Amino acid sequence: MMKTFVRETILNLKGYETKNTPYVYKLDANEGKTLFFSDQATSEREDFNRYPDNEATVLCEVMGKFLGVPTENIVAGNGSSEMIELIMKTFIDTGDGVLSFTPSFSMYEVFTNIYSGRFFSVPSRRDFSLDVDALIAKANEIKPKVILLCNPNNPTGAFLTEAEIKKVIEETNAIIVVDEAYIEFSDGSFVNQVNQYENVIVLRTVSKAFGLASIRLGFMVANKEVINIIKKVKPPYNLNSLSQKYGIEALQKTEKMSRYVLEIKQEREKLYQEMKKLNIEVYPSQANFLFFKSTLVDLAERLQEKGILIRQFSGDLAWYYRVTIGEKEENSAFLNGVKEMVSHASS
Ligand SMILES: *Cc1c(COP(=O)(O)O)cnc(C)c1O
């Protein structure tokens, strides 16, 4: 059934295969000699003249342990961004529908357009909570091939419960992608359910909670059949050896991440309460940011004058903003900047 969503050209594709044959003289891949950084390699695999492990095996094993999911259910790549693109490459032919909520992660629409798909979206409720019944109704009308659920949702912080995600899966007929870029800051992941379904893909990243945006590392978690098709589509050696190495190290020290997440959640709650006190329309968030509305004139520009950057929206979302929860000092600087503007506006 899942295969009916896969583009025909992909179904007949043979992926790039690599072997790990033991050797004395490795003369099969046209690799050069190590001229640079030779002192930094800690194993032959990491030697700079060698291609990296095509399947990032050790990294996927470590990620599998962290998630409680078998290695065979995981593909690693250059951020969840590469994973979103791989999904489009695999399933979206010209004119195929892709459905999501709005507002949500802007790249869903961009990648859909790059692959000549048709992007549809269902608006959030007035309080920016997500209406799965409206999404299901839209899906049954337009029959998308792919439905993207950003959970928690960027930029609003809204959260879908496990029951709501299951409802979408059961009452639609599409590949369901759950983008869990911010899941560590929330109440629960869907990742352990991937083997329950043939059409569900969960995306994870180390860019947010793990604080490793620079190494561009993300993961796709899905049942084996989906994973095997994705592996045919992904470019050979897509993930460089340094990202594999740093990823393995970080994913073996997840207590560090957990402690940080706890701090951010506390800071999020504090900032939320403080903003409420200022009568700012701020929305509950399960991520490392707060989404809010403010009618203070030129809010973002005036914060920027103090060196404080926040995300500003336009169009339907004029007067809405998203602020990342940072270090205590950063959050205070933001809050003080806003307080100053509030007092000016009311005097
Ligand atoms: C940040 C973000 C990503 C991108 O993550 P990378 O792993 O850095 O590519 C994907 N989805 C959402 C919703 C994000 O906010």
Sign of CA dihedral 18, 19, 22, 24: negative
What is the C-alpha to C-alpha distance for residues 111 and 248, in angstroms, rounded to an integer? Answer: 29
Position 17 confidence tier, pLDDT thresholds 50, 70, 90: confident
What is the CB < 6 Å shell around ligand 1? 79-81, 105, 150, 154, 179, 181, 205, 207, 213, 218
Using the predicted structure, report yes or no on whether residue 85 has a pLDDT greater than 70: yes
pTM, entire model: 0.96
What is the C-alpha to C-alpha distance for residues 160 and 130, in angstroms, rounded to an integer? Answer: 7
Using the predicted structure, report yes or no on whether residue 26 has a pLDDT greater than 90: yes
What is the C-alpha to C-alpha distance for residues 102 and 347, in angstroms, rounded to an integer? Answer: 37
Using the predicted structure, report yes or no on whether residue 346 has a pLDDT greater than 80: no
Number of residues that this document lists for the chain:
347
Sign of CA dihedral 37, 40, 41, 46: negative
Using the predicted structure, report yes or no on whether residue 347 has a pLDDT greater than 70: no
Output the residue whose Cα is nearest ligand 1's atom 1: 181
Output the residue whose Cα is nearest ligand 1's atom 12: 181
Structure confidence at residue 44 (pLDDT):
61
Query: Which atom of ligand 1 is nearest the CA belonging to 217?
Result: 7
Pocket test for ligand 1, best of 63, 78, 81 (most atoms within 8 A of CB): 81
pLDDT-above-90 percentage for the chain = 91
Average pLDDT rounded to a whole number, residues 308-327: 97
Residue pair 229/90 in contact by the 8 Å Cβ criterion: yes
Structure confidence at residue 337 (pLDDT):
97
Average pLDDT rounded to a whole number, residues 187-193: 95
